[in-house]
Each structure stands twice: as structure tokens, then as C-alpha cells.
Amino acid sequence: MNPSPNLFLVGPTGAGKTSIGQRLAAHYGLPFVDLDVEIERRCGTTIAELFANEGEAGFRAHERAHLDEFSLREGIVLATGAGAVLDPASREALMSRGTVLMLGVDVDEQLDRLQGDTARPLLAVDDRRGRLESLAEHRNHLYEEIADLIFRGRRESVDDAVPRAIALLDRHWKRT
């Protein structure tokens, strides 16, 4: 376990990184940063527009730079984008600069949670199930590889999930 005042949340789209992360930050009295929100704010455009204008590689370059900056802070809860783990330097930064909590979710639950979501460019396809399964196949091992702790969803509300996540963190997170 990486003793650190930072908590970094990784996991697939729809796992709850933002909603659970906000509540964890409030519970521990830490600032919360949603990496995708910060990228949009600083770039002055949406993630979808970044993908359209700069392609996935261009977006990933912004993501890598912002993750590097925010992961250097002391005492934050950072919700990464689902694809942030694709970059080896980003994985190294997360592992070395904070405690990494993976939020796990299965494809059926992702489909339920993301049913009305039209903002995510990688999900703008006819076969969402196939896309989510493919993303899981390529990314889940990366989340697990860098995770200090793994928190699996149980098809429950955020109100029910957060106390379980806090209990897990209180048992294992060594904040310096």
C-alpha cells in the first residue's frame, strides 16, 4: 500500500468515480478533482469536441499532462477518466503519487447507468455492449495492475456504496 495523502480513483466508465469520489472527498475533508471536468474547463471545450477536433491521441495528450499536474498535489481525491490508465507514464504517476482505488463494475451495470448518456465519444456506437466489453478486455487488467485497493459495485445506490468504500479505505488507506 502506498502511504499517501492522495486518493486516486480509476475504473471503467460508469463505475462511479465522480459520484463516489465527491463523497469520499467530503468525508475525508479533501478537495475533489474530476480530471475530465478540469480538462474541459482548461481547454474551453467538451471532451467530445476534443475527440472530434484532435482525435483520441490529442485528447490523451491533454489527459496525460493534466493527470501529471494534478497527481503532484498533496491531499486530494482525483477521479481519473476511464482511459487514463492507457498511458504508461500516467499509470506510473498514479502508482507512485497516491493510493489507487479501483472502482469495478460489470458491463450490465454500466449499460444501466449510462443508458441516457450521449456525451462520451467512445460510446457513440450502435453496439454499446460490444464496445464496453471490448474496453473492459483492454483496460480492466490495467486498473487492477495499479490498484492498491479494489472496490466492486453491487448494483447499489451511491448512498449504499459510499459507506462500504469508506470502510475499505479506513481499514487499508495509510494517509501520511
C-alpha pair distances (Å), 72 with each of 36, 75, 89, 90? 17, 10, 13, 12
Mean pLDDT of 71-94: 96
Task: From 156, 128, 165, select the one nearest 7 (Cα to Cα).
Answer: 165
C-alpha grid cell, residue 70: 494534478
Is 18 annotated in a binding site? The answer is yes
Is 171 annotated in a binding site? The answer is no
Is 15 annotated in a binding site? The answer is yes
Residue-wise pLDDT tens digits, 1-36? 667 899 999 999 889 999 999 999 999 999 999 999
pLDDT tier, 79 (very low <50, low <70, confident <90, very high otherwise) = very high
Rg (CA), the chain: 15
Residue-wise pLDDT tens digits, 106-123? 988 888 877 877 777 667
Sheet arrangement for strand 99-104: 32-34, 77-79, 7-10, 99-104, 149-152
Domains of the chain: 7-168 (3.40.50.300)
Is 57 annotated in a binding site? The answer is no
User: Does the pLDDT at position 53 exceed 90?
Assistant: yes
Is 45 annotated in a binding site? The answer is no
pLDDT tier, 124 (very low <50, low <70, confident <90, very high otherwise) = confident
Is 14 annotated in a binding site? The answer is yes
User: Which residue would you say has higher pLDDT here, 61 or 127?
Assistant: 61
Is 120 annotated in a binding site? The answer is yes
- The amino acid that residue 27 corresponds to is H
For residue 170, with 0-12 CB atoms within 10 Å meaning exposed, 13-18 middle and 19 or more buried, which class applies? Answer: exposed
